[in-house]
């Protein structure tokens, strides 16, 4: 039942953001809505299942979701729409908002179906989440400073965390959701669908592949690619 109610909640939420997208005339606003949506789902489920696991989960997800939403909003403000959304002009409601809502629902399974008492093993999930948050937030901050420096225009970020992974922010994102899965793990092992979904999306669909393709003809990036791990820091 919780899965169905959460699905309806996400549908209403994403439909509302589609209305905002129409007013703003840009569909990449869905990226700003992404992080906040998880906070909504976590908070809703906490109301009906007030456990220590979910209380900790909503705190962690809120820290992540608010930071990500603010970061993306500031990044996109006063800029043209993200190039990745240009191919979704024909049916943005379904292709962008409903599809993203569906993936949000899948990723939320560990939260929606959180079970079992809080044990030492769940602490491992918190530690993994902290590592992931460090990678995502630090990598985003380093890239932002790099881009703001006019002398770096046209160059590839290769320092800081970007010296050990070509996509340290995405590595952090995936790691955090594996942490949330372990934090809420009890007898609900099948909720591994959540972290598997975000891992697949970032590694095979909308994250790493798109950026790698964008710079495939960039000589500096090709040299960078030969030296640095694509995902796992190395």
Q: What is the pLDDT of residues 66-105, one digit of tens each?
A: 999 999 998 888 778 777 777 677 788 999 999 999 999 9
DSSP one-letter code for 97: I
Does residue 100 lie within any of the structural domains?
yes
Q: What is the pLDDT of residues 142-164, one digit of tens each?
A: 999 999 999 999 899 999 999 99
pLDDT confidence tier of residue 25, bands split at 50, 70 and 90:
confident
Q: How much is the pLDDT for 227?
A: 95
Does residue 48 lie within any of the structural domains?
yes
Q: What is the pLDDT of residues 205-216, one digit of tens each?
A: 988 998 999 898
Q: In angstroms, how far is CA 138 from the centroid of its own chain?
A: 15
Number of residues that make up the chain = 234
Does residue 234 lie within any of the structural domains?
no
Domain that holds residue 161: 2-227
Domains identified in the chain, total number: 1
Q: What is the pLDDT of residues 171-191, one digit of tens each?
A: 999 999 999 999 999 889 999
Q: How much is the pLDDT for 62?
A: 97
Cα 93 from Cα 100, distance rounded (Å): 10
Average pLDDT over residues 224-234: 95
CB 72 within 8 A of CB 31: yes
Does residue 215 lie within any of the structural domains?
yes
Cα 105 from Cα 9, distance rounded (Å): 10
Q: How much is the pLDDT for 179?
A: 98
Does residue 232 lie within any of the structural domains?
no
Does residue 112 lie within any of the structural domains?
yes
Q: 94: which 2 tokens?
A: 């379904």
**Other beta carbons less than 10 A from residue 159's beta carbon:** 8
3-state secondary structure 142-161: HHHHHHHCHHHCCCCCCCHH
The structure tokens 């809502």 sit at: 101
């Amino acid at each position: 039942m919780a899965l169905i109610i959460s699905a309806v909640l996400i549908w209403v939420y994403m439909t509302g953001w589609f209305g905002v997208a129409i007013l703003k005339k840009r569909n990449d606003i869905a990226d700003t809505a992404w992080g906040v949506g998880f906070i909504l789902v976590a908070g809703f489920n906490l109301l009906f299942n007030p456990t220590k696991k979910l209380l900790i989960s909503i705190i962690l997800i809120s820290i992540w979701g608010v930071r990500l939403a603010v970061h993306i909003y500031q990044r996109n403000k006063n800029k043209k729409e993200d190039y990745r959304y240009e191919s979704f002009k024909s049916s943005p409601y379904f292709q962008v908002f409903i599809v993203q809502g569906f993936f949000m629902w899948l990723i939320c399974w560990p939260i929606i179906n959180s079970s079992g008492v809080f044990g030492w093993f769940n602490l491992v999930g918190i530690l993994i989440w902290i590592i992931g948050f460090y990678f995502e937030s630090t990598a985003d901050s380093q890239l932002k400073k790099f881009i703001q420096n006019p002398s770096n225009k046209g160059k590839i970020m290769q320092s800081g965390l970007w010296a050990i992974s070509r996509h340290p922010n995405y590595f952090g994102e995936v790691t955090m959701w594996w942490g949330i899965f372990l934090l809420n793990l009890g007898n609900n092992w099948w909720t591994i669908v959540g972290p598997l979904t975000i891992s697949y999306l970032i590694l095979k669909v909308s994250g790493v592949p798109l950026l790698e393709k964008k710079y495939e003809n960039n000589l500096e990036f090709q040299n960078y690619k030969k030296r640095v791990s694509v995902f796992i820091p190395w």
